Amino acid sequence: MNSTTKAKSISLKEYGITSEKVSYQLSPDELHRITIEKGMGKAASSGALAVNTGEFTGRSPMDRFIVKDARTEDKIWWGDINIPFEPEAFDKLYDKVTAYLGDKEVFVRDSYVCADPAYKMNIRVINEYPWSNLFAYNMFLRPTEEELQGFDPEWVVVNAPGFMADAQIDGTRQHNFAILNFTKKIALVGGTGYTGEIKKGIFSALNFILPVDKNTLPMHCSANYGVNGDTAIFFGLSGTGKTTLSADANRKLIGDDEHGWTSENSIFNFEGGCYAKVIDLSAEKEPEIYGAIKKGAILENVIMDDKGVVDFADTSITQNTRVSYPIHHIENIMKPSYGDNPKNIFFLTADAFGVLPPISRLTPAQAAYHFISGYTAKVAGTEAGVVEPQPSFSACFGAPFMPLHPTKYAEMLSAKMKEAGVNVWLVNTGWTGGPYGVGKRMELKYTRAMINAAMNGDLGLYTYDDYHIHSVFGVAQPRSCPGVPDEVLSPRATWKDDAAYYKTAFKLTNAFRENFKKFEAFANEEIRRGGPQRYGF
């Protein structure tokens, strides 16, 4: 790695930022060093930089806005997810944020998103903090020296964690905000140091731009590529295993979170890095991710001892402890980060009710139904001694990042799946043997074995001999799978009590039906029949 980058500076006057000290395109080593010098971070024993993101250790979806103007007015699915923001209020707040940055040292990073050259979009990230700028280096794609000559940024991210909005005056909900302006091509993030806002801000922008302007389907999924030239993609909400399961020593990683599926039969990564959860991380269970935590990586909100050794089990700051690193910290990667049409699609769900099969095969209609539903479950806190999982539905497995109506993405996905003749699997990476509190989390080695079997064609033919149709969910459950005990494949068999199993399954069924009501008018008969087959009481 070259750490001899000469200190460069650029003027930010065109953005209304008058800072005298503008540190442009610093190397990761320099940003690591400066962060520690400023007392904003510490080196972990692994060499990674450890920081605390402050008040926010996760995204704040209720503070995510989109400027409503001629470009967006008729296209965005406005509501609780895509909250409108007045253009004039945006301009005023932007001026305040840039004035705030004016008397500070700022860090600028030029980078781009979309690994396929035909879709490349240049972005400039302007940060108040050096470690946030290192995050941008890690997560976005890194231009070559040549590409930096005459670099023309299309989108700009202005990121001021120390700036606090005044909700009364600024039109925000509270002091933090993440606002997208599609006309001005600006993502304005303030009052929060959580780095995920930067990454998901640009993701949300692409989720509008790609389908609207480029006929490309944006997806909240990870992707990898096998020796047989087969691409696999993994959709799922937070914590369901996209990052974990895509990091597989035997397959080349394409990307861990955000991809586009083009009309030219290819899929490409939007990003240049990974952002992995590190709760309970171990070298034994997740060697690829563990090995990626070295100099250059940023650990967020972890607890270390005085030797810099991280205790990954310590969640005293947050359960959402994270690490970001450039994708080349993973050994087996696809270069550049794109591949052919997927052969297999996995919908990951962490079913805390413990009733969905650990793997099942979906018909095209079921696939559409589950994509629109976007089910996972949240495990409730143990406060009052009550441990009831909460079903959580998020359309397209990523509703908070989808500016358009979910059916727009669902229609594109259905068409592409049919065209590509892809196999679709529903994978429960959540609970087995009972719900959260009674059963336990599915063993990672079993989930990996099931996914490998699906990809290798080892789950047999789509016939009665090989599959059992689940009596409640209607999905096809394989009867056997190499490396996995037969009884693990049947959720009912892992429960002690049949009646309790069905009661819980029906409870989940009802939640699915209730949630689907808002999409019923948009779904055809075939898709509606893709839902659970038997209904609860």
Chain contacts with Mn ion (rule: CB under 5 A): 242-243
Which residues are CB-contacts of 299 (< 8 A; sequence separation ≥ 6)?
44, 48, 49, 50, 51, 278, 293, 310, 321, 322, 323
Question: What is the rounded CA–CA span in Å between residue 439 and residue 458?
Answer: 27
From Mn ion, ligand ATP, none, interface partner of 148 (C-beta below 5 to 8 A by class)? none
Considering only 276, 292, 410, 417, the residue that binds ligand ATP (CB under 6 A) is: 276
59 assigned ligand-binding residue: yes
Query: Does residue 6 have an active-site annotation?
Result: no
Question: Among this protein's residues, is 238 annotated catalytic?
Answer: yes
Choice between 68 and 329, CB closer to ligand ATP: 329
CA distances from 476 to 172, 433, 460, 527 (A): 47, 19, 12, 16
Which is nearer to ligand ATP, 323 or 365 (by Cβ)?
323
Binding site partner of 468, from Mn ion, ligand ATP, none, Cβ cut-off 5-8 A by kind: none
CA dist., res. 415 & res. 37, Å (int): 53
At residue 476, φ and ψ (nearest 5 deg) are -95, 115
- 64 vs 242, which CB is nearer to Mn ion? 242
Round to whole Å and give the CA distance between 138 and 133.
9
Residue 343 annotated in active site: no
Kindly state the DSSP code that residue 481 receives in the 8-state scheme. Answer: B
Q: Is 528 a catalytic residue?
A: no
Query: What is the smallest separation between the CB atom of 245 and ligand ATP, expressed in angstroms?
Result: 6
Min. distance of Cβ 286 from ligand ATP in angstroms?
6
Residue type, 100: Y
| 59 carries an active-site annotation | yes
Question: Is residue 245 within the footprint of ligand ATP (CB under 6 A)?
Answer: yes
Using H for helix, E for strand and C for coil, what is the string for 362-414? ECHHHHHHHHHHCEEEECCCCCCCCCCCEEEECHHHCHHHCCCCHHHHHHHHH
Of residues 93 and 450, the one with the C-beta less far from ligand ATP: 450
Choosing from 32, 68, 124, 200, the catalytic residue is 200
Tokens coding 492: 């009912």
| Residue whose C-alpha is closest to residue 245's, from 391, 73, 491, 455 | 455
For residue 251, indicate whether it is catalytic.
Answer: no
Question: Rounded to the nearest whole angstrom, what is the least distance from the CB of residue 200 to ligand ATP in the complex?
Answer: 9
Nearer to ligand ATP, 74 or 284 (CB): 284
Instruction: Identify what 478 binds: ligand ATP, Mn ion, none; CB under 5 to 8 Å per kind.
Output: none
| Cα atoms in the 13 Å half-sphere on the side-chain side of 329 | 29
Say whether residue 244 binds ligand ATP (CB under 6 A): yes
Choosing from 109, 251, 259, 322, which is the catalytic residue?
A: 322
The CA distance from 194 to 92, in Å, is 23
Q: Which residues contact 89 (CB under 8 A, 6 or more apart)?
A: 170, 171
Distance CA 320, CA 195 (A): 12
Please confirm, yes or no, whether 470 is among the known catalytic residues.
no
Task: For residue 432, give the nearest of 379, 489, 377, 392 by alpha carbon.
Answer: 489
Cβ proximity of 91 and 420 under 8 Å: no
Determine if 481 is a binding residue for ligand ATP (CB under 6 A): no
Active-site residue, 259 included: no
Active-site pick, 64, 242, 361, 416: 242
Answer yes or no: is 241 a known binding residue.
Answer: yes
Q: Does 38 belong to an annotated binding site?
A: no
Residue 167 or residue 279: which is nearer to ligand ATP going by CB?
A: 279
- Judged by CB under 6 A, the residue of 240, 349, 477, 515 near ligand ATP is 240
Known binding positions for ATP: 200, 220, 236-244, 286, 322, 447
Known binding positions for substrate: 59, 194, 200, 322
Could you list the active site residues? 59, 200, 220, 238, 242-243, 257, 322
The residues of the shown chain that bind ligand ATP, judged by CB under 6 A, are 236, 238-245, 257, 275-277, 279, 429, 441-442, 444, 447
